[in-house]
Structure 1
Protein backbone atom coordinates (compact mmCIF):
# COMPACT_ATOMS: atom_id res chain seq x y z
CA UNK A 1 0.00 0.00 0.00
CA UNK A 2 1.26 3.49 -0.81
CA UNK A 3 0.46 6.50 1.36
CA UNK A 4 2.08 9.93 1.27
CA UNK A 5 2.85 11.28 4.74
CA UNK A 6 4.92 14.46 4.97
CA UNK A 7 7.21 15.36 7.85
CA UNK A 8 4.66 17.75 9.35
CA UNK A 9 2.01 15.03 9.43
CA UNK A 10 3.89 12.60 11.66
CA UNK A 11 2.54 12.77 15.23
CA UNK A 12 4.73 12.17 18.26
CA UNK A 13 3.46 9.22 20.27
CA UNK A 14 1.53 7.63 17.42
CA UNK A 15 1.90 3.85 17.30
CA UNK A 16 1.37 0.96 14.98
CA UNK A 17 1.52 -2.73 15.80
CA UNK A 18 2.03 -5.81 13.67
CA UNK A 19 0.46 -9.20 13.84
CA UNK A 20 2.59 -12.11 14.99
CA UNK A 21 5.09 -14.26 13.14
CA UNK A 22 6.50 -17.51 14.44
CA UNK A 23 10.22 -18.04 14.04
CA UNK A 24 10.97 -21.52 12.71
CA UNK A 25 14.00 -23.76 12.46
CA UNK A 26 13.87 -23.13 8.70
CA UNK A 27 14.21 -19.38 9.31
CA UNK A 28 17.37 -19.99 11.34
CA UNK A 29 18.91 -22.41 8.84
CA UNK A 30 18.19 -20.09 5.89
CA UNK A 31 19.60 -17.09 7.74
CA UNK A 32 22.76 -19.03 8.63
CA UNK A 33 23.20 -19.92 4.97
CA UNK A 34 22.61 -16.36 3.80
CA UNK A 35 24.98 -14.78 6.32
CA UNK A 36 27.56 -17.49 6.91
CA UNK A 37 26.87 -17.36 10.65
CA UNK A 38 26.92 -21.04 11.61
CA UNK A 39 27.87 -20.51 15.25
CA UNK A 40 26.74 -23.39 17.45
CA UNK A 41 24.36 -21.12 19.39
CA UNK A 42 22.13 -21.24 16.31
CA UNK A 43 22.96 -24.58 14.69
CA UNK A 44 24.05 -27.21 17.24
CA UNK A 45 21.15 -28.45 19.37
CA UNK A 46 23.31 -30.81 21.43
CA UNK A 47 25.93 -28.17 22.23
CA UNK A 48 23.17 -25.71 23.17
CA UNK A 49 21.95 -28.13 25.85
CA UNK A 50 25.16 -27.27 27.73
CA UNK A 51 24.46 -23.52 27.67
CA UNK A 52 22.38 -21.22 29.82
CA UNK A 53 19.45 -21.30 27.36
CA UNK A 54 19.45 -25.12 26.85
CA UNK A 55 18.30 -24.74 23.23
CA UNK A 56 19.22 -23.05 19.95
CA UNK A 57 18.62 -19.31 19.68
CA UNK A 58 17.73 -17.31 16.60
CA UNK A 59 20.36 -14.94 15.22
CA UNK A 60 19.84 -11.40 16.47
CA UNK A 61 20.23 -10.22 12.88
CA UNK A 62 17.44 -12.60 11.85
CA UNK A 63 15.06 -11.13 14.42
CA UNK A 64 16.07 -7.62 13.36
CA UNK A 65 15.45 -8.42 9.68
CA UNK A 66 12.15 -10.18 10.24
CA UNK A 67 10.93 -7.57 12.73
CA UNK A 68 11.71 -4.67 10.41
CA UNK A 69 10.15 -6.53 7.50
CA UNK A 70 6.97 -6.98 9.53
CA UNK A 71 6.65 -3.19 9.83
CA UNK A 72 7.15 -2.52 6.11
CA UNK A 73 3.51 -2.55 5.07
CA UNK A 74 3.18 1.03 3.79
CA UNK A 75 5.30 2.65 1.09
CA UNK A 76 5.68 6.39 1.68
CA UNK A 77 6.97 7.93 -1.56
CA UNK A 78 8.31 11.03 0.27
CA UNK A 79 10.30 9.14 2.93
CA UNK A 80 13.17 6.69 3.01
CA UNK A 81 15.07 4.77 5.62
CA UNK A 82 18.21 6.63 6.69
CA UNK A 83 19.33 3.82 8.99
CA UNK A 84 19.05 2.37 12.47
CA UNK A 85 20.54 3.46 15.78
CA UNK A 86 20.84 1.92 19.23
CA UNK A 87 20.12 -1.64 18.14
CA UNK A 88 20.04 -3.99 21.11
CA UNK A 89 19.30 -7.71 21.42
CA UNK A 90 17.58 -7.82 24.81
CA UNK A 91 16.48 -11.47 25.14
CA UNK A 92 16.96 -14.56 23.01
CA UNK A 93 14.32 -15.78 20.58
CA UNK A 94 13.91 -19.53 20.31
CA UNK A 95 12.51 -21.82 17.64
CA UNK A 96 8.68 -21.57 17.68
CA UNK A 97 8.63 -18.23 19.51
CA UNK A 98 6.19 -15.76 17.99
CA UNK A 99 7.28 -12.15 17.66
CA UNK A 100 5.24 -8.97 17.26
CA UNK A 101 6.48 -5.43 16.65
CA UNK A 102 5.37 -2.04 17.95
CA UNK A 103 6.60 1.15 16.27
CA UNK A 104 6.22 4.48 18.09
CA UNK A 105 7.08 7.93 16.70
CA UNK A 106 9.36 9.37 19.39
CA UNK A 107 11.11 12.34 17.81
CA UNK A 108 11.16 14.76 14.91
CA UNK A 109 14.20 16.88 14.17
CA UNK A 110 15.64 19.07 11.47
CA UNK A 111 17.94 17.84 8.72
CA UNK A 112 20.75 19.77 7.02
CA UNK A 113 18.53 20.28 3.97
CA UNK A 114 15.54 22.44 4.90
CA UNK A 115 13.34 20.45 2.50
CA UNK A 116 13.51 17.34 4.75
CA UNK A 117 13.38 16.33 8.39
CA UNK A 118 14.19 13.27 10.46
CA UNK A 119 11.43 11.19 12.01
CA UNK A 120 12.61 8.74 14.67
CA UNK A 121 10.64 5.55 15.21
CA UNK A 122 11.20 3.42 18.30
CA UNK A 123 11.00 -0.21 17.12
CA UNK A 124 10.23 -2.76 19.84
CA UNK A 125 10.06 -6.49 19.13
CA UNK A 126 8.23 -8.65 21.68
CA UNK A 127 7.90 -12.41 22.09
CA UNK A 128 4.64 -14.24 22.79
CA UNK A 129 5.11 -13.61 26.53
CA UNK A 130 5.19 -9.85 25.97
CA UNK A 131 8.90 -9.67 26.77
CA UNK A 132 11.05 -7.23 24.82
CA UNK A 133 13.55 -9.17 22.71
CA UNK A 134 14.93 -6.40 20.48
CA UNK A 135 14.84 -2.63 20.42
CA UNK A 136 16.21 -0.01 18.06
CA UNK A 137 15.56 3.40 16.56
CA UNK A 138 14.66 3.70 12.90
CA UNK A 139 15.60 7.00 11.26
CA UNK A 140 13.38 8.16 8.43
CA UNK A 141 14.34 11.07 6.21
CA UNK A 142 11.02 12.64 5.22
CA UNK A 143 10.18 15.39 2.75
CA UNK A 144 8.48 18.47 4.17
CA UNK A 145 5.19 19.62 2.75
CA UNK A 146 5.90 23.29 3.29
CA UNK A 147 9.38 24.70 2.90
Structure 2
Protein backbone atom coordinates (compact mmCIF):
# COMPACT_ATOMS: atom_id res chain seq x y z
CA UNK A 1 0.00 0.00 0.00
CA UNK A 2 1.27 3.43 -0.91
CA UNK A 3 0.23 6.86 0.41
CA UNK A 4 -0.02 9.62 -2.18
CA UNK A 5 -1.50 13.01 -1.43
CA UNK A 6 -3.42 14.37 -4.39
CA UNK A 7 -5.79 17.32 -4.32
CA UNK A 8 -8.72 17.86 -6.67
CA UNK A 9 -6.54 20.06 -8.87
CA UNK A 10 -3.98 17.26 -9.26
CA UNK A 11 -6.32 14.76 -10.94
CA UNK A 12 -5.96 14.67 -14.73
CA UNK A 13 -8.79 13.57 -17.00
CA UNK A 14 -7.61 10.62 -19.06
CA UNK A 15 -5.01 9.35 -16.61
CA UNK A 16 -5.37 5.63 -15.99
CA UNK A 17 -3.98 2.62 -14.22
CA UNK A 18 -4.42 -1.12 -14.61
CA UNK A 19 -4.25 -3.68 -11.83
CA UNK A 20 -2.61 -7.07 -11.77
CA UNK A 21 -4.93 -10.03 -12.35
CA UNK A 22 -6.84 -12.01 -9.75
CA UNK A 23 -8.26 -15.47 -10.35
CA UNK A 24 -11.73 -16.18 -8.95
CA UNK A 25 -11.91 -19.43 -6.99
CA UNK A 26 -14.63 -21.74 -5.77
CA UNK A 27 -13.65 -20.69 -2.25
CA UNK A 28 -14.33 -17.04 -3.15
CA UNK A 29 -17.86 -17.93 -4.27
CA UNK A 30 -18.63 -20.15 -1.27
CA UNK A 31 -17.28 -17.57 1.19
CA UNK A 32 -19.25 -14.75 -0.45
CA UNK A 33 -22.43 -16.82 -0.39
CA UNK A 34 -21.94 -17.41 3.33
CA UNK A 35 -21.28 -13.74 4.02
CA UNK A 36 -24.25 -12.45 2.03
CA UNK A 37 -26.77 -15.28 2.33
CA UNK A 38 -26.99 -15.45 -1.48
CA UNK A 39 -27.09 -19.21 -2.02
CA UNK A 40 -28.91 -19.10 -5.35
CA UNK A 41 -28.19 -22.13 -7.53
CA UNK A 42 -26.49 -19.94 -10.17
CA UNK A 43 -23.58 -19.70 -7.74
CA UNK A 44 -23.79 -22.87 -5.66
CA UNK A 45 -25.29 -25.79 -7.62
CA UNK A 46 -22.89 -27.25 -10.17
CA UNK A 47 -25.41 -29.83 -11.45
CA UNK A 48 -28.22 -27.32 -11.88
CA UNK A 49 -25.89 -24.88 -13.64
CA UNK A 50 -24.94 -27.63 -16.12
CA UNK A 51 -28.56 -27.50 -17.37
CA UNK A 52 -28.51 -23.71 -17.85
CA UNK A 53 -27.23 -21.44 -20.62
CA UNK A 54 -23.84 -20.74 -19.00
CA UNK A 55 -23.23 -24.42 -18.06
CA UNK A 56 -21.17 -23.62 -14.94
CA UNK A 57 -21.36 -21.72 -11.66
CA UNK A 58 -21.24 -17.94 -11.89
CA UNK A 59 -19.46 -15.68 -9.41
CA UNK A 60 -21.87 -13.30 -7.68
CA UNK A 61 -21.92 -9.87 -9.30
CA UNK A 62 -21.43 -8.36 -5.86
CA UNK A 63 -18.37 -10.58 -5.39
CA UNK A 64 -16.86 -9.42 -8.68
CA UNK A 65 -17.60 -5.82 -7.70
CA UNK A 66 -16.05 -6.22 -4.25
CA UNK A 67 -12.91 -7.91 -5.53
CA UNK A 68 -12.51 -5.40 -8.37
CA UNK A 69 -12.82 -2.43 -6.02
CA UNK A 70 -10.31 -4.02 -3.66
CA UNK A 71 -7.90 -4.54 -6.54
CA UNK A 72 -7.86 -0.78 -7.21
CA UNK A 73 -7.16 0.08 -3.56
CA UNK A 74 -3.38 0.11 -3.82
CA UNK A 75 -2.99 3.82 -3.10
CA UNK A 76 -4.28 5.69 -0.06
CA UNK A 77 -4.98 9.38 -0.64
CA UNK A 78 -5.68 11.18 2.66
CA UNK A 79 -7.20 14.06 0.64
CA UNK A 80 -9.92 11.89 -0.94
CA UNK A 81 -12.60 9.42 0.01
CA UNK A 82 -15.02 7.26 -1.84
CA UNK A 83 -18.31 9.07 -2.44
CA UNK A 84 -19.98 6.02 -3.99
CA UNK A 85 -20.43 4.16 -7.25
CA UNK A 86 -22.66 4.96 -10.22
CA UNK A 87 -23.77 3.12 -13.35
CA UNK A 88 -22.80 -0.36 -12.07
CA UNK A 89 -23.42 -3.06 -14.68
CA UNK A 90 -22.57 -6.76 -14.74
CA UNK A 91 -21.95 -7.19 -18.46
CA UNK A 92 -20.86 -10.85 -18.68
CA UNK A 93 -20.49 -13.70 -16.21
CA UNK A 94 -17.32 -14.56 -14.33
CA UNK A 95 -16.72 -18.25 -13.71
CA UNK A 96 -14.49 -20.20 -11.34
CA UNK A 97 -10.98 -20.01 -12.79
CA UNK A 98 -11.48 -16.72 -14.63
CA UNK A 99 -8.83 -14.07 -13.99
CA UNK A 100 -10.07 -10.49 -13.78
CA UNK A 101 -8.13 -7.26 -14.25
CA UNK A 102 -9.33 -3.72 -13.59
CA UNK A 103 -8.62 -0.62 -15.64
CA UNK A 104 -9.38 2.65 -13.83
CA UNK A 105 -9.48 5.86 -15.87
CA UNK A 106 -10.25 9.39 -14.66
CA UNK A 107 -13.09 10.46 -16.94
CA UNK A 108 -14.40 13.67 -15.36
CA UNK A 109 -13.97 16.29 -12.63
CA UNK A 110 -16.79 18.48 -11.36
CA UNK A 111 -17.48 21.12 -8.80
CA UNK A 112 -19.31 19.81 -5.74
CA UNK A 113 -22.74 21.45 -5.73
CA UNK A 114 -22.69 22.20 -1.96
CA UNK A 115 -19.11 21.90 -0.70
CA UNK A 116 -16.69 24.54 -1.98
CA UNK A 117 -13.76 22.89 -0.20
CA UNK A 118 -14.18 19.67 -2.25
CA UNK A 119 -14.63 18.55 -5.83
CA UNK A 120 -15.91 15.32 -7.37
CA UNK A 121 -13.65 13.08 -9.43
CA UNK A 122 -15.20 10.33 -11.58
CA UNK A 123 -13.10 7.26 -12.24
CA UNK A 124 -14.45 4.73 -14.75
CA UNK A 125 -13.71 1.12 -13.81
CA UNK A 126 -13.70 -1.53 -16.51
CA UNK A 127 -13.23 -5.12 -15.37
CA UNK A 128 -12.11 -7.61 -17.99
CA UNK A 129 -11.27 -11.28 -17.85
CA UNK A 130 -8.37 -13.16 -19.39
CA UNK A 131 -9.94 -13.35 -22.86
CA UNK A 132 -10.41 -9.56 -23.01
CA UNK A 133 -14.17 -9.63 -22.46
CA UNK A 134 -15.59 -6.84 -20.32
CA UNK A 135 -17.44 -8.35 -17.36
CA UNK A 136 -18.28 -5.30 -15.24
CA UNK A 137 -18.28 -1.51 -15.52
CA UNK A 138 -19.03 1.31 -13.10
CA UNK A 139 -18.02 4.81 -12.12
CA UNK A 140 -16.25 5.36 -8.81
CA UNK A 141 -16.94 8.84 -7.49
CA UNK A 142 -14.37 10.42 -5.18
CA UNK A 143 -14.91 13.39 -2.89
CA UNK A 144 -11.55 15.17 -3.10
CA UNK A 145 -10.24 18.07 -1.03
CA UNK A 146 -9.25 21.19 -2.91
CA UNK A 147 -5.79 22.65 -2.47
CA UNK A 148 -7.24 26.07 -1.63
CA UNK A 149 -10.60 27.79 -1.59
CA UNK A 150 -9.31 30.60 -3.80
CA UNK A 151 -9.16 28.11 -6.71
CA UNK A 152 -12.71 26.92 -6.10
CA UNK A 153 -14.26 30.09 -7.45
TM-score range, shorter chain: over 0.9
2:30 is paired with a residue whose SS is helix
The answer for unaligned runs of 5 or more in structure 2 is none
Per-residue Cα deviation, 1:55-80 (whole angstroms, up to 9, x for no partner): 00000000000000000000000100
**Does 1:17 pair with 2:18?**
yes
- Mapped partners of 2:37, 2:127: distance in 1: 24
Q: 1:146 Cα shift?
A: 2.0
Per-residue Cα deviation, 1:31-56 (whole angstroms, up to 9, x for no partner): 00000000000000000011000000
- Mapped partners of 1:69, 1:8: distance in 2: 25
Q: How does 1:51-70 map to 2 (within 5 A)?
A: 51-70=52-71
**Does 1:145 pair with 2:147?**
yes
Counterpart residue number, 1:118: 120
Counterpart residue number, 1:127: 129
- Mapped partners of 2:115, 2:99: distance in 1: 41
Q: Give the alignment's Cα RMSD to 1 decimal.
A: 0.4
Counterpart residue number, 1:8: 9
- Mapped partners of 2:11, 2:132: distance in 1: 27
2:123 is paired with a residue whose SS is strand
Query: TM-score with structure 2 length normalisation?
Result: 0.95
- Mapped partners of 1:94, 1:113: distance in 2: 42
- Mapped partners of 2:115, 2:63: distance in 1: 34
Per-residue Cα deviation, 1:98-117 (whole angstroms, up to 9, x for no partner): 00000000000011111100
Deviation >6 Å, runs of 4+: none
Counterpart residue number, 1:93: 94
Q: 1:139 Cα shift?
A: 0.4
The answer for unaligned runs of 5 or more in structure 1 is none
**Does 1:73 pair with 2:74?**
yes
